[in-house]
Structure formats: C-alpha cells, structure tokens
A and B are shown apart, each in its own frame.
Chain A
Amino acid sequence: MTAAEAREAGEAPATERPQPVAGAGVETGSTPVTDPFAEPPAPNGRFLHALNPLAKLAAPLPAIVVLVVTRGLAIPTALLLLALAVLFVGARLRARTVVLLVVGLPPFVAVLGATLGVWVDPRSIEAGSPGASVVLIEVGGWQFTLAAYLIGLATALRISALLVLSLIAGLTTTGPDLVRALVQNLRVPYRVGYAALAALRFVPRFRHELEVIRSAQRVRGVDRGRGPVAAVRRTLAVSIPLLAGAIRHAERVALAMDARAFGAHPTRTERTLSRWRVRDTVFVVLFWAATAAVTWWGLAGR
C-alpha cells in the first residue's frame, strides 16, 4: 500500500506539493537548520501529514492484531469506524478517495460478505446461533442462511478495517518520508532504505515494459490458444525479455548510484530531519487506548 501510494504521490507532485515560500523554516530541535526547500507544514487540523511515518505505522498495529484474532461484527465495525474517523479528520484526501470510502465501502462490504458467506461450511454454524434458521436463498438442497451471511460479513468487515487502517499511513506518507523515518529513527541501514526507494521507481517502468512485450508478442501471434498450458507458455515467453531487461536496468542504476558515492560512508547527510515528537507518542498512545477500549467493549458486550 505504501509502495502504491508513494508512486501515486510521486506521479503528480507538482499538484500535490505547493511551492514552498522561500525561507519557510523547518521545525528543528537541537540543530537549527533553515531548509528553504522543506515541505510546508500541513494545513491546520490535517495532523496525520505532520506525524512521523513510524507513528502512523505503529498506531494501528494492535488494532490489526485484534482484527486478525477476533470474531463477530462489533469489533471490526467499531475499528473500521475509528480508522475512517481518523482518516477523515487527519488526512488531506482527494475527493475521489472520500467518495470511494463513503459511497463505495458499504456495498463493497455487503457484496464481499455475501461472496465469502457462500463459502461458509454450513456444518460449522451452530444451530443456536442467531440467524441459523433464517434462510435467505435456497437452491435445491443448498441453503444460504443469515448466519452464514453474518459470518461472511464479519470477515468482509475485518478485511475492510485492515484496509482502511493501512490507509492511515498509506495515504498520508510518501516513500521518501518513510525511508527517512526508517533510516533516521529506526536505524535501518540507509543502503537498504534508499536501494528500496530506487527499486520503487522500477515498478512503473516494468509495467510499461510488460505492456510493450505483450503487444510485441501478440504481433508474433503467440497469444493464441486457451487453457493453462498456453497461459504458462505465454507467461514464460513474456518473463524472459522482462527479466533480461530488468537485470540490465538494475545493473545500470547500480552503476549510476555507485558513481554518485552511494554507500561510500556508513551514514549520509540528511537534508530533511525525521523526528519523533511528543505528538507522535500522543497519537500512538491515544490510538492504542481507543483500540483497547473498543476491544474491551466488544468482548464485554458479547
């Protein structure tokens, strides 16, 4: 998710990133450095953008664990709403994203719930559970009961909640920000972090290359034939030129990075400091507390 978002953010930075006013100071602690090129502070109230990316990754972690192990509708629903609330209040969202979350998410959950519910083994539903006797659809001897739908719905809600929780970091963090935080705050070796960042740039390139290879091979007439054997053959035929191109490209990028002193020293100059501030701690603690409260409420209400 972060990868995709970083790319998306990277594709249209001119529109998303207002030109900073010369002399706009960057918040610094011990070393007062004025960076005229630093990104401007996020607009008031959109606090997520001003948080350390690590805080945005750490805060949803307990909620994610809860979602993985929990059952029932209450806890996923509450966590989903919590994540949505944080997102709507704290993030600068595009209109398209808002519409997608408000209008698109409920039907997505409903349909996904039905799709998953169909696959629920009827024997696993206890006879006494609510809705076990309410038959929604009956085809021949097969029954789709309300209970099965509720189980499917719970899973759909858990998936949606996981998705929205990951959007908290995903929609408000750029790849470079995350790499800076990992390197500066989490002491990940910068070679790993920046190499990953460079690799992110490969993705759109390979997507384009894949498209070209596919159409090149269509011209040769090898896209004919149906079935798994033809599919495997097609995939193989596409993957060889793609891999050959990828390896060559990676080698070139590596040479270019070496030539620019990448990895020459154990550390590198960081122009933009990534700091862990009080607000990051506050955000994480509040989010964890809210998660705990929701979980406690969900378990107690059972």
Chain B
Amino acid sequence: MTAPLLELDAVRIRHEGAARATPDGVSLAVRPGEVVLVLGPSGCGKSTLALALDGLVPHAVPAELGGTVSIAGLDSRDHPVGVLSAHVAMVFQDPDAQVVTGTLLDEVCFGPENQLVPVEEVLARGERALKLVGLWERRFDNPEQLSGGGRQRLAIACALAMEAPVLVLDEPTANLDPAGIDEVYAVLRELASTGHHAIVLVEHNLDAAVDLVDRVVVLDADGRLAFDGPAADVLRDHVDELLALGVWLPVSTLAALRLRAAGVALDPLPLTPSELGAALDARDELPAPRADALATTPNGTHDPAIRVRGLSVRRGGRRGPVVVHDVDLDVAAGEFLAIVGTNGAGKTSLLQAVAGVIPADSGSVDVLGLDPQRADARERSRRIGFVFQNPEHQFVAGTVEDELLVSLRLQGVPAAEQEAQVTSVLERFGLAGLRRQHPFLLSGGQKRRLSVGTALVAGAPVIALDEPTFGQDRERAAELLDMLHALHRQGTTVLIVTHDLQLVADYATRMAVMADGRVLGSGPTAEVLAGPMIEEAGLRHPPLARATRGLARHPEWHGVTRMSQLPASEGARA
C-alpha cells in the first residue's frame, strides 16, 4: 500500500470563541489517486476540516488545532502554509474571492511564481492547467469576463498549477448555476480519471458528485467521524443512519427510500438518476404515481394578483442593454410561481421590475391594482414584499425588533398596535427569543427568516424572492422552502427566482421559463417539466425528472417530477 499523502490523527479544531470543537477527533488518511467525499450536516465542521488539510488551520484561521495533520509527512503545525501548498492545493466556494490578477494566464501563474518556480516551468504549468480546464484560448481575458462556472474552472486550474498531489475542494459548486456545476464536474471527472491527483471534495450537492467519488467520509453533527468507506457501501448500507444524521442524500436515493416505504424495494439502492431509472424499468409492475397534489389545488384559479404586459427592462440606465424583452405574465392570487432560466436570462431583472425595485423601460405592471413602478415604498410594501439574495443587504436597524418596527412605522401603524404585530411576526418566524439581538449576529437561517418577516410584516399578500437558496446547503434551502410552502398554504402568493430545479419541482405550482430576456412559456410545474421548454432554455431537468423521463416500460411515470408524486405508504406525509 502506498504511503498516505495526508494523514489526520484525532484532529479537533475549535474556532476562536466557539464552545465546542468541530471536527472533533477525526482520523483518516488520503492516498494517491483517491477521490474522497466529505459529508455531514450543516455545522459539523467539514469546511473547517478542509482548511486544516493545507495548514490554513491553524496558521491563517484563528482556531485551535488538536491532534496532528501530517501532510506528505510534514506536521502542519511546524510548517507554514507556503511550504504545505506544494503538497495540497485548494479550491474554495466563492469563485470571485479567489481572483488576484487581471488575466487568466497571470492568475494560473500566480501560485507557481510565489513558489519561486523558474519562468519556463511557470509557463509550462500554466499552459497545462489552462488546457486541462479548457480555458487556454481565453488566457488573455480578464477573469471577470468568465461565467461563474468558468471562474471556478479557473480556480481549479490555479490549484492544478501548484502541481500538488492533493486537491482539496470546499463546496466548489455552491455558488454556481446548473450549467456551471456541470462544467466544474466535467473537469473534476477528467481529473479523477487520470488518477494523478488525490481529490478531497466537500460537497452537499450529492447528485452531481456521487458518480465521481471512490470513498465517502461522514461526520456527524458533533463533528465526529461517523462513517468512512467506499462510496456505494456507505451510502447504501448506512442510508437510514445517514438520514438520521441529517446528511442530505442524492435525490434518486431519497426517491428510492420513499418507494421502499410504499413497498417498492429497489435493490441495490440507486444513487444516480440513471440507476434509479434502470431500477424502475427493471420492474415489471409499478404502482400508479399519486396525483400531483400541488397541480390540483384550486389555489391558482382565483383573481389575478399580478398582470405584466409588454414589460421591457434595461440594465444600467436608459442606454443600457435590454435584459427583459416584451414580457407578458399573469400570476393568480395564491400561486407559487418559480421563474427559472440560466444565468443572464433576465430572471432577476423581471422579478425586480415586477416588484418595483428597478424601473421598467416600457410596458405595464399591475400588482393588486397598483403600479409598483409609480407607487412609493409604503404603498408598495403593503402589496408586495421583496427579499434580496443576501438578507444582510436589507437590514437597516440595530435589533431584530427594530427591523420589524421600521416597516410598521413606514405604514403608520399606531404605536399601540406595533407591539402586538411585532410579537406575532417574531413568533410566526421562530425568532421570538431573539428580539434584542443584532440582525447581523443571527445565524444564516435566522437572517433569512427575518428578511422574509420584514417583507411581510406590512401585510403584503405577495412575496417575491430573488435566488433565496443561492450559496446555501440543501438543509438550509429545504428549511427556507418549507417556510415558503407554509406561507403559500396560508394564502400568500409566492414568486421565486431560482436555478435549483428540484426545489422548484417539489414546491412550485407554476413555472415560467426564461431565456435571453424572454419568457419562453409558463404553466403548471409538472407540465413544464415534462415538456421540451427546460432544454430549450439551456437548463437540465431535475434529478427525479431525469430518472422518470426515460422509462421505457412505465410511460405513466413520465410526468413524475416531484417527491410527493411518488407512491407513499399509508400515513406518510403527502
């Protein structure tokens, strides 16, 4: 057996000011050519663990390291990151926060230059790395001109140029749209197939990663090592324990678990859409899928809440490029509408113009009888609440309570009633104990809930959210969508812009698909997902739809796109 490239022995890391250590007592070894996936629920310390693999913990991050991290035989405590970086290269989550220089070529050369590699070798490495990720032709471009996926490929090239035998990627696709995720995984797949690098991947998007990895390491909520073994074995044999730990499983596996509860046991448990599809097709008989509960809700038949006619929007003033072209869109009261499209399709601009956040160039918008373009903030926020991607951007006060009071005062609510309304909103959004807390000191999920609360406190029956799940793990995303689902059931009309199509499939009643600033079409979610529009817009079907679309023997299953359509055991949640 070859010597390990990385060897961790009882590693405990406690961040400065944190009460407990996460990870806590993790021992593992990474050998050449291995592709290791690190999983765990939010807050288990998997990203912290990644930072320890090249000495950033403890050298650059204020944290206390217990146990030993041995990198190519060197104790990470005794050697600076600069030395360790020759053995372990890193790729981080945010592609914007990894760019230092002005051209792609300068960027890939930055690392080797810092390592005092001779000029010819620097250039050779830069060329190899850029060619491998398919960016060599663009070497003189500014990194800003690349898409998110392109910039993340550049970050991978920069890591490759370090010529380290280990590559550590910390949530490399969390900030990317589906096209970007595919780009990054295409590169990673190629890297893995060459076997030159050991790859350690921290990732919550298991659907993208699962067919790539050899080995899965699972941490539990306390940061302890729960499982470590071959990917298929860990995921299949310990699936119930993983669920109990709060680890997010591939959609195909979750679907199979639901089917198992309904008496359709698939063995072995499928991990990818193609495995799920094959397993379903291998069965002679399948129970009929359940009726699409969301599509049949009479919610969507009420009066129109939003009517958009001929709307065009320019970015960057009167002479800026037109990003939304002549859009007509109707949203009925009580609908949950998801606007989907690739990056740059104009989704956010459309949503912002509908909510009156940015001016329209031409066309008309009507939200419950009001033109949000002309109305002032007071009138507008009584009809439609808007939630920005980053909740922090919308905070204007020093306490959670004041945050809500700002909105109530704007409405001129009498002081006597303010108190009761604040209390009711805080309770509704699970923030009752945090009244005096500074909004910036809340956790990510709490911030998000507060931002939705402030958008709705004025009594708006419509709420619009811009990419609310961007950069969050599946757990946080599901938590948010559950909250929106609850609001929707209470009668709130919900508009959301997103590129996470499985979430759309599971929650939205209707979808509008955008491409190049135009709405290609809209309709009930199941219909849109079953039709050709998703591909026309350059998107990919969500995992469950991908599994069921290609079924040869069960055509009645082709329209199954959401979990709730799968047959369920008696008494299971619809």
A contact set with B: CB distance below 8 Å: 6, 9-14, 17, 19, 33, 35-37, 174-176, 194, 197-198, 201, 204-205, 209, 212-213, 215-224, 237, 240-241, 244-245, 249, 252-265, 267-271
Contact = CB atoms under 8 A, between A and B. Distances in A.
A292 B109 CA distance: 44
A220 B454 contact: yes
A192 to B, nearest CB: 14
B209 to A, nearest CB: 21
Given A216-B394, A265-B114, A271-B122, 12 more contacts: A17-B140, A176-B101, A205-B96, A220-B406, A221-B406, A224-B377, A255-B56, A258-B85, A259-B56, A261-B115, A264-B80, A264-B83
A271 B357 contact: no
A221 B92 contact: no
Interface in B79-122: 80-83, 85-86, 89-90, 92, 94, 96-103, 105-106, 109-120, 122
B407 A220 contact: yes
B568 interface: no
Interface residues of B, number: 71
B98 A222 contact: no
A245 B395 CA distance: 13
Contacts of B333: none
A35 B119 contact: yes
Given A174-B102, A176-B102, A220 B81 contact: no
B386 A219 contact: yes
Given A37-B123, A221-B407, A254-B60, A261 B81 contact: yes
B393 A268 contact: no
Contacts of A265: 82, 114-116
Contact of B101 (A197, A220, A268): A197
Contacts of A14: 140-142, 145
A-B pairs with the 4 shortest C-beta distances?
A: A264-B82, A221-B377, A252-B97, A260-B111
Contacts of B90: 256, 259
A269 B124 CA distance: 14
A220 B456 CA distance: 11
A17 B145 CA distance: 15
Contacts of B440: 240-241, 244
Contacts of B259: none
A268 B116 contact: yes
Nearest to A190: B114
A261 B100 contact: no
B448 to A, nearest CB: 14
A249 B96 CA distance: 9
B102 A261 contact: no
Given A14-B140, A217-B394, A271-B113, A260 B94 contact: no
B122 A259 contact: no
A263 B111 CA distance: 10
B162 interface: yes
A209 B410 CA distance: 25
Contacts of B162: 260-261
B562 to A, nearest CB: 31
Interface string B322-345: 000000000000000000000000
Contacts of B54: 259
16 contacts: A11-B144, A14-B142, A14-B145, A33-B119, A37-B105, A197-B100, A212-B393, A216-B388, A222-B406, A255-B51, A259-B56, A259-B85, A260-B89, A260-B110, A263-B82, A267-B116
Nearest to A241: B392
B396 A222 contact: yes
The interface centre, meaning the residue of B100, B144, B386, B410 with most chain A CB atoms within 10 A of its CB, is: B100
A35 B51 CA distance: 35
Given A35-B123, A261-B162, A212 B81 contact: no
B381 interface: yes
Given A175-B102, A263-B114, A219 B377 contact: yes
A297 to B, nearest CB: 42
A256 B118 CA distance: 22
Contact of A217 (B56, B106, B122, B396): B396
Contacts of B20: none
Contacts of B142: 10-14
A261 B97 contact: no
Contacts of B406: 220-222
Given A13-B142, A176-B102, A261-B111, A253 B97 contact: yes
A264 B392 contact: no
Contacts of A201: 99-100
A263 B114 CA distance: 7
A36 B109 CA distance: 14
Contacts of A213: 393
Contacts of B3: none
A211 to B, nearest CB: 10
A175 to B, nearest CB: 7
B6 to A, nearest CB: 15
Contacts of B60: 254-255, 258
A258 B111 CA distance: 9
B370 interface: no
B544 interface: no
Nearest to A233: B396
A122 B55 CA distance: 68
